[in-house]
Amino acid sequence: MNNERFLQRVNTIFTKITMASSVASKATAATSKIAGKHPKFRYLSAWFCPFAHRATLAFEHHKGRVDYEWVEALGWNLQKDETSVTGTGQDWYYHWKSEELTRVNKSALVPTLIAIDPDTQETDESKVVYESLVCIDFIDQISGATGKDRLVSEDPFWAAKSRIWADKVNRECCSPYYGVLVRKEDHERREFFNHLIKGLETFSGELKKTTGPTYLPDGQLSNVDLVLIPWAYRFYVFEHYRGPDFVIPETDALQPYQ
CATH number at residue 118: 3.40.30.10
Q: Are residues 96 and 198 in the same domain?
A: no
From CA 193, how far away is CA 3, in angstroms rounded?
15
Query: Which of 208, 224, 219, 221 is CA-nearest to residue 161?
Result: 224
Residues 36 and 110 in one domain: yes
pLDDT of residue 77: 76
**Rounded to the nearest 5°, which phi and psi values hold at 222?**
-135, 170
Do 124 and 77 belong together in one domain?
yes
Q: Which CATH number is 6's domain given?
A: 1.20.1050.10
Same-domain pairing of 159 and 238: yes
Distances (CA, A) of 30 to 20, 27, 38, 66: 17, 10, 9, 11
**Contact assessment for residue 46 and residue 74, using Cβ atoms and an 8 Å cutoff:** yes
* Local confidence pLDDT in tens for the 258 residues of the chain: 445 555 565 566 556 555 544 444 444 344 444 445 899 999 999 999 999 999 999 999 999 999 999 999 999 877 677 777 666 667 766 778 999 999 999 999 999 999 999 889 999 999 999 999 999 999 999 999 999 999 999 999 999 999 999 999 999 999 999 999 999 999 999 999 999 999 999 999 999 988 888 999 989 999 999 999 999 999 999 999 999 999 998 876 665 443
Q: Are residue 235 and residue 185 in the same domain, yes or no?
A: yes
Q: How many residues does this entry show for the chain?
A: 258
Say whether both 112 and 177 belong to one domain: no
pTM score, whole prediction: 0.82
Contacts of 91 (CB under 8 A, 6+ apart): 78, 79, 80, 81
CA distances from 27 to 56, 57, 70, 139, 251 (A): 19, 18, 22, 16, 41
Q: What is the Cα–Cα distance from 224 to 215, expressed in whole angstroms?
A: 7
| Residues 104 and 152 grouped into a single domain | no
pLDDT confidence of residue 4: 57
pLDDT on residue 23:
46
Please give the Cα distance from 53 to 70 (Å, whole number).
12
Question: In terms of Cα–Cα distance, which of 46, 36, 67, 13 is closest to 212?
Answer: 13
Domain shared by 242 and 202, yes or no: yes
Q: Are residues 115 and 198 in the same domain?
A: no
* Cα dihedral 44, 14, 27, 41 in deg (nearest 10): 0
For residue 169, give the 3-state DSSP assignment.
Answer: helix
49 and 125 together in one domain: yes
Write down the pLDDT at residue 6. 52
Final residue of a domain: which of 127, 144, 161? 144
* Total domains present in the chain: 2
Q: Specify the pLDDT at position 220.
A: 95
Phi-psi region of 221 (alpha: psi -120 to 50; beta: other; left: phi over 0): beta
pLDDT number for residue 78: 74
Which of 97, 117, 144 marks a domain boundary?
144
Q: Tell me which of 122, 144, 166 is where a domain ends.
A: 144
pLDDT of residue 111: 98
Domain enclosing residue 133, as ranges? 28-144
Same domain, residue pair 153 and 252: yes
Closest by Cα among 256, 253, 248, 252 to 201: 253
Query: Is residue 132 domain-shared with residue 178, that is, in the same domain?
Result: no
CA nearest to 210, candidates 250, 150, 154, 161: 161
